[in-house]
Structure 1
Amino acid sequence: MFFFGDNFDFDSSDIKIKIGFFHFSSCSGCQVAFLDMFEDLVEILDTVELAYSSWLTKKREIPKLHIAFVEGALCIEDKRHLNLAKELAEKANIIVTVGGCASFGGVRRLSIGNQAPQPSHQSFIPLTEVELLRPKIKYAIPGCPPNPSLLYNFMIALLEVNDDFLQPFEFMANSKDASGYDIVKEIINKGLCTGCGTCVTACSSQAMGFNFQYNKPTFNPELCVHCGSCLAACPQSFKPYPQPVYS
């Protein structure tokens, strides 16, 4: 049985978990990734109710939800975005940010070409940095877009309360920098890299490469879109390695 908290008064007769899908500013690739794995979710449809989706339902009003899956970055100049953020804060018990834009800023954070902010530019921030939503955001799913298989496994783990599987996603919800820099800083520079190349295959922008002479991955920051896929895919990530003790 999944724990949703006690701050919402859901009808006790409701057995199904109410979920919703929401879109801020992004390419919608994350929602497409969800659609790609719906055939695999037939086995859990008896426990999940799709209560809201701008694509798949005709509802205009947002109902109370157990889980809200949200893609895209918030534009602070867009009143519709601000109103949607307020509704999610009121009506969603748990928020899961999906993809690099919602979780870390992604390509939306880089959309002005790394220029200094100007009055004519719109400002986009990841949902994990929106103070109104922070108390509700429990998990962040990396990717640009996330792999449908990853989304399916996440859904199953969420319903089965598989804390071991969910722990990295909870960690990423509190991470402000998920990119190839993390692979270099946290894995390679600490001597933890095994040269498996998983981070390279996970990268959607070819920012991660591989040096066959040294059997280690390489990183090109100019191509990185800060989606977090490489860090999430690395088998050496999120392991509780003991820290050295000096006497």
Structure 2
Amino acid sequence: MDKPIDAPTGVPGEKPSGKPTFAYIHFAACSGCEISFLDNFEKLLEIMDMVDIRYMTLINDNTEFPKADIVFVDGAPCLQSAESVEELKKARENAGYLVSWGGCSTTSTINNFARGGQAPQPQHESFPPIKRLVKVDAFVPGSPPGPEMAYNVIRAFVKGDTDYLKYLTSYSVGGWACGCDLIKDIVENALCIGCGACAFACPTRAIEMVLGRPCINWERCVKCGACYAQCPRSFQPVPLMDRMMEEL
């Protein structure tokens, strides 16, 4: 295998000599996001043609985390584990473009419930979203995200499709990244169009459309942020819309 590049570019579309390099690092999570990545089947071969996969525990034997042009971070690091925190910081240092892949790394999701409710013990562990510890370049929420998102993000990075990456770059869920954000930001501001995209995106079926509006089952909500991310009214790419209007 070739020697890793000296310094990642971190710029979509700017290729180093040879193929852009890719790494995938995994923290506390169920591994569903990693399996979803591999569920691309024949498109996984296209991904391997687009990038040189230098580190991913399920498909290669590398033990040292290398420098890479694009790095996917899956899962939430344990705040009480110095090893996990240092590993995340090292990934940020070695990454040109860092992608928060999946709900656990983006919003912490089910890991939010790791605080409190346990049997008495000397200390409780917490698993924050990675954006609280390092700078993140793009967010792909969902528990797990669809397999096609891995292909689309890597392809957009390699091709320099900044219009596609723009939403993922600016993604920022407020509050607890749960259905309450959807109600507060979208429904209560009269932005909901009743399309049902939020209900379709919910991995735990916590959202039911009632009279054309989302109704949240709070006991099922795992705070993954998928509903907010899939809502077409949660983000309006104004420059892109302006260009589309000019072309009409």
Q: Which runs of 5+ in 1 are unaligned?
A: 242-247
From 218, 223, 227, the equivalent of 2:220 is 223
Structure 1 residues 4-19: aligned runs within 5 Å: 4=10, 14-19=17-22
SS of structure 2 residue aligned to 1:50: strand
SS of structure 1 residue aligned to 2:142: coil
Counterpart-to-counterpart distance in 2, 1:191 and 1:26: 35
Counterpart-to-counterpart distance in 1, 2:172 and 2:102: 11
Structure 1 residues 189-204: aligned runs within 5 Å: 189-204=188-203
Indicate conservation of the 8 Å contact 1:128/1:173, yes or no.
Answer: no
Structure 1 residues 75-114: aligned runs within 5 Å: 75-112=78-115
2:236 maps to which residue? Answer: 239
Task: Say yes or no: does 1:124 pair with 2:127.
Answer: yes
- Report the residue type matching 1:143 in the other structure: G
Indicate conservation of the 8 Å contact 1:144/1:227, yes or no.
Answer: yes
Shift of 1:19: 0.5
Are the structure 2 counterparts of residues 226 and 61 from structure 1 closer, same or farther at C-alpha, using a change threshold of 3 Å?
A: same
TM-score by length of 2: 0.82
TM-score by length of 1: 0.83
Q: Percent identity?
A: 36
Structure 1 residues 165-176: aligned runs within 5 Å: 165-172=164-171
CA deviations 1:7-48 (Å, max 9, x no partner) are xxx9x6x31110001001111111101000142143353331
- Report the residue type matching 1:125 in the other structure: P
1:26 maps to which residue? Answer: 29
1:63 maps to which residue? Answer: 66
- Report the residue type matching 1:171 in the other structure: S
Indicate conservation of the 8 Å contact 1:142/1:232, yes or no.
Answer: yes
1:138 maps to which residue? Answer: 137
Indicate conservation of the 8 Å contact 2:10/2:95, yes or no.
Answer: no
SS of structure 2 residue aligned to 1:205: coil
Shift of 1:198: 1.0
- Report the residue type matching 2:234 in the other structure: S
- Report the residue type matching 1:33 in the other structure: S
Counterpart-to-counterpart distance in 1, 2:218 and 2:122: 27
Counterpart-to-counterpart distance in 1, 2:174 and 2:18: 33
Shift of 1:67: 0.9
Indicate conservation of the 8 Å contact 1:178/1:227, yes or no.
Answer: yes
Counterpart-to-counterpart distance in 2, 1:240 and 1:44: 27
Q: Which runs of 5+ in 2 are unaligned?
A: 1-7, 239-248
Aligned residues: 227
Counterpart-to-counterpart distance in 2, 1:90 and 1:143: 25
1:159 maps to which residue? Answer: 158
